[in-house]
Amino acid sequence: MGKAMSKSQVAAHLASKFDLKKKAAVGILEEMANLAYREAKNSFTLPGIGKLVLVDRKARIGRNPATGEQIQIPAKTVVKFRVAKAAKEAILKPVK
């Protein structure tokens, strides 16, 4: 597997693709992230990529792996990312 693209590399790619200054491309990426953080409570969709959603987890009983002791895990809200069907199909092209 190759290395993941850095934020700088993504910004450089977008800047060259859309004839922008790199600073403008970085600003777009940062604003997109800020918008996703603000709107996650209502679910935030990146068309063709996926959706950020908040999910409520119930309280449950778990085990301490070191001692085997039962512990109470409290209820909490977590952030999940649901990958869009189009992204799955584009990334995981079926092998025939």
What is the DSSP secondary structure assignment for residue 21, as one 8-state letter?
-
Quote the tokens at residue 59: 């309280």
The pLDDT tens digits of the residues spanning 44-92 come to 999 999 999 999 999 999 999 999 999 999 999 999 999 999 999 999 9
Q: With residue 28 as reference, give the H or E element that holds it.
A: helix 22-39
Confirm if 14 and 20 have CB atoms less than 8 A apart: yes
pLDDT for 76 = 97
The residues spanned by each domain of the chain are 1-40, 43-96
Q: What is the pTM of this model?
A: 0.76
Give the pLDDT confidence of 21-57 residue by residue, as tens digits. Answer: 999 999 999 999 999 999 999 999 999 999 999 999 9
pLDDT at site 95:
64
CA torsion angle 84 15 30 79 (round to 10): 20
pLDDT at residue 96 is higher than 90: no
Strand 76-83 and strand 70-73: the pairing is unpaired
- Angle between the 7-17 and 22-39 helix axes, to the nearest 10 degrees? 120
Superfamily of 43-96 according to CATH: IHF-like DNA-binding proteins (4.10.520.10)
